[in-house]
Structure 1
Amino acid sequence: MTDIRIALSDKAIAQLPTPEDGWYLARDTELKGFFVVVGKRKRTFTVQGDLRQRGKRASSIRVSIGDATELTTRAARAIAKEYLAQISKGQHPKARLDGKPGQTETDGNSAKTGATLKHAWERYLEAHLIRKGRSEKTISGYRDHVERLFAEWLDTPLLDLATDPASVAEKHDQLTKENGPYIANGSMRTLRAIYNHARKTNRSLPRDNPADAVDWNQEERRNTGMGAGDLKGWFLELASLDNPIRREFHLFTLLCGSRPTALQQAKPEHINFRRRTLHIPKPKGGSKRAFDIPLSREMVLSLTRVLRFGRQMHPSQAQQWLFPAESATGHLSETKEDRAILSKWGNDLRQTFRTIATAAGVSEFDAKLLMNHSIPGVNAGYVTRHKLVEDHLRSQQQAISTVVFSALGNSLTEQEALINWLSRGASRRAVPQFRLEPNTLGEQQERIRQAA
């Protein structure tokens, strides 16, 4: 909707139409610079004026007064007059919130009020993300939001964003149209976190977070998991992949329900063949969330195959990575597939694991432990997870793998693609030139065979 001019009153504001998308301004015909920002969920009294320095216009700022449902129009207009008077003198109305005497000029010389988004981001990156051991993927996501999507704001003081929430709401609308609703919401959550972090050490910033002006896009969980009846077709799709390492990666993702990014960085040394576990040292949440994946018989066989394929296809990278590849990192770093070739991958398989776990009779509590989810409640803190891995959780893992392979029925003995892939000794026939170095990988493979 386009901006309008009306004589603002409580009744007039209550009758203003709600926009279908974005927001618009209802400007007061009585007091210049006084208006209401009308959004889908919120209506905010606001003023706008020109800050002047040495008689010259320095910048135009907007300052929120308050929610129209909490303030009367008469009270908001009185505050607006006071704010506009301060702005005309070159003083920011919300530059001082700590009760100390004196007004802070918005001249860019103050280290506190002039702190830019770039400065706040650098401190948040170092003090919050890196120091707390956040993963590279998490940091990369935040960096993309700030340094790409908010590039034009990097040199903008946080105070300017705080006093012009309409521009933040407008940016969210723009990102929604250009980048999609999920990215738009995610970027604004990043901005909100950085602002809140900055305000911990800078109480001169307004308490109202500029991201609060956003009308959040609706987000829904993607239900893309498979049921037992879908697995036969998916296995035939997977068997057709030319790269056997990628094939085993997707199968192992399905059988363990782990996040793909955690598996990508798995190393052969993380496998404990005697305990039949795969250690994940740095999952989502950092090293403090490290855990062991118990291995079913089918998972052990999958690891056997991928170790063989890795040693043959990428002998150098396979010394370090469980799923090696010719990439900058030396391991699989991009595991997306053409959906016309493989219909389900990534988090689709994580959802499938959770779905099959229910069909296998695995309790919700055990499924959360297997997937390394946080367990709510006080009693969960008394559960020692690693004490359950080698007995109880492995039996639950085996139950899930059994349901997965049982869903294939006679296909394992009738479909040539599956026979060539999953039958006994198939991986040896597929890599006739494969050789094991003595006393290293050969010993590991022997332990796997014994464990299976």
Structure 2
Amino acid sequence: MTTSIKLTQSAIKGLPFVQPDDKKRQHLYFDTELKGFGVCVGAKAKTFFVQRDLQGKTVRTSIGRYGVYTVDQAREEARELLMKMGKGINPNKEEKPAASVTFGDALDLHLKSNKKRSERTLKDYRYLSDQYLSDWLKKPLTEVTRKDCRERHHKIGEKNGPYVANSVFRVFRAAYNHALKIHDELGVNPTIAVDWFPEERRKAAIPSADLTAWYKEVTAMTNPIRRDYLRFVLFTGLRRESAAVVRWEHIDWEKKALLIPRPKGGETRAFLLPLSDFLIDLLKERQKCEQAKTFFPGSPWVFPAESKSGHIAEPKEKLGVKFTVHGLRNTFITVAESLDISPYAIKMLVNHSLPDKQDVTAGYISPELDRLRAPMQEISDRLRLLCEGEKKTQKGQAVSRNAKPKK
């Protein structure tokens, strides 16, 4: 889709991002003042570009992202690029000298190099760079010193915490290393001077003794969409974003399975997650939800919300029992491990990569839906016992939440 408008700061700011249900993945807006200059709007970013025909073929080359460049800065660079293209020079085939390669250039190259990266990963890399290293994006890599890296890493760590500081400089290190593959004259990566903060794996699982109190508070929530979202994450073990973007079309009622079309983690291809009886009942309740029917009629999302995306993000619920949404996934994994379920089955249910490089057996295992159904049901039953305190079996006998799980 292409549109002609006068590109100004306010005009670009007002251009809407591409929505998930839009068949077009990007919209092009060409400037009415400078022919060939435009801005490409995608789902997450707005990028300036120039476009012109060279030797019978349309050539487009990026200038940089809106926010890093102003319209005037991008237009000035566009004029220079268009002049080159007018002389028959293709900017895409020109190799920049190492001295002119900026951190922003290196980051773009790094993010485009791996087509399998999820949108969430790309978004995280961009966010960390824009939020903490925005003043470096247009800075040549040759001007970033070891002292710069060391001091900025320490400053971020003091203000925003060690995990954030380490994450930011992992992004910078990766981008620099990618540029180094092309320009070996760049020299040693300056992050060599960074004293990385020690990190311990954060365990956020809700203790079994607190699950009943947590679940009681959740079921008492007045917002049924947010309530069911939290229960859904706990009983599926899904990552918070994977759970938030579930659509009704992803549910196979006949197979009692949920399609995860774009998972993050060890497997990049889509996979089917078996749904326990509890989850099937929960989803049927969602279909009958009056609030959703009233405020979000015809919504394709299982957990709709008044947001730009149309679906729920991460509810910041404050309950008596402290928890995080990601901690619910940890709780699912902890309960699964307590049942002595096969580690391979757990890894496949939560979409963790199998250690096929170290374990020959793992390389032959395929995540078949029926094979995973029994473990999923067992985990779900155990979670219900822990959450509800006591449950009646099919024979009418009471089962305590402290009952020893069957192996």
Query: Could you say whether these structures have the same fold, taking a TM-score greater than 0.5 normalized by the shorter chain as the test?
Result: yes
Q: Following TM superposition, by how much is the alpha carbon of 1:313 offset from its aligned partner in structure 2, in angstroms? A: 4.0
Matching of residue 279 in structure 1 with residue 279 in structure 2: no
1:143 to 126, 134, 140: 126
Matching of residue 194 in structure 1 with residue 194 in structure 2: no
Q: 1:409 to 1:250 in 2, by over 3 A?
A: closer
Letter in 1 for 2:157: T
Q: Following TM superposition, by how much is the alpha carbon of 1:227 offset from its aligned partner in structure 2, in angstroms? A: 3.8
Deviations, residues 29-86 of structure 1 (Å, cap 9, x unaligned): xxxxxxxxxxxxxxxxxxxxxxxxxxxxxxxxxxxxxxxxxxxxxxxxxxxxxxxxxx
Alignment of 1:246-395 (within 5 A): 246-285=226-265, 288-309=268-289, 311-316=292-297, 318=299, 320-340=300-320, 343-376=322-355, 377-385=359-367, 387=368, 389-390=369-370, 392-395=371-374
**Unaligned segments of structure 2, at least 5 residues:** 1-94, 393-407
Q: Following TM superposition, by how much is the alpha carbon of 1:137 offset from its aligned partner in structure 2, in angstroms? A: 2.2
Matching of residue 154 in structure 1 with residue 137 in structure 2: yes
For the residues of structure 2 that align with 1:293 and 1:335, how far apart are their CA atoms? 23
Give TM-score, length-normalised by structure 2.
0.68
Letter in 2 for 1:146: S
* Residue of structure 2 equivalent to 1:115: 101
Q: 1:397 to 1:215 in 2, by over 3 A?
A: same
Q: Following TM superposition, by how much is the alpha carbon of 1:189 offset from its aligned partner in structure 2, in angstroms? A: 0.1
* Residue of structure 1 equivalent to 2:33: none
1:289 partner SS: coil
Q: Following TM superposition, by how much is the alpha carbon of 1:201 offset from its aligned partner in structure 2, in angstroms? A: 1.3
Deviations, residues 420-439 of structure 1 (Å, cap 9, x unaligned): xxxxxxxxxxxxxxxxxxxx
For the residues of structure 2 that align with 1:168 and 1:322, how far apart are their CA atoms? 44
CA-atom RMSD, angstroms?
A: 2.2
Q: 1:110 to 1:367 in 2, by over 3 A?
A: closer
Letter in 2 for 1:158: L
Q: 1:355 to 1:312 in 2, by over 3 A?
A: same
Letter in 2 for 1:223: K
Structure 1 contact 264–331 (Cα < 8 Å) conserved: yes
Q: 1:160 to 1:247 in 2, by over 3 A?
A: same
For the residues of structure 2 that align with 1:301 and 1:407, how far apart are their CA atoms? 18
Q: 1:313 to 1:213 in 2, by over 3 A?
A: farther
For the residues of structure 2 that align with 1:226 and 1:182, how far apart are their CA atoms? 22
Q: 1:173 to 1:345 in 2, by over 3 A?
A: closer
**Unaligned segments of structure 1, at least 5 residues:** 1-108, 414-452
* Residue of structure 1 equivalent to 2:65: none
* Residue of structure 2 equivalent to 1:178: 159
Structure 1 contact 227–355 (Cα < 8 Å) conserved: no
Structure 2 contact 267–351 (Cα < 8 Å) conserved: no
Q: Following TM superposition, by how much is the alpha carbon of 1:410 offset from its aligned partner in structure 2, in angstroms? A: 5.8
Give TM-score, length-normalised by structure 1.
0.61
Residue-pair matches, total: 294
| Structure showing greater Rg | 1
Letter in 2 for 1:196: N
Deviations, residues 112-151 of structure 1 (Å, cap 9, x unaligned): 22211122122223333xxx14223211211122222112
Q: 1:259 to 1:409 in 2, by over 3 A?
A: closer
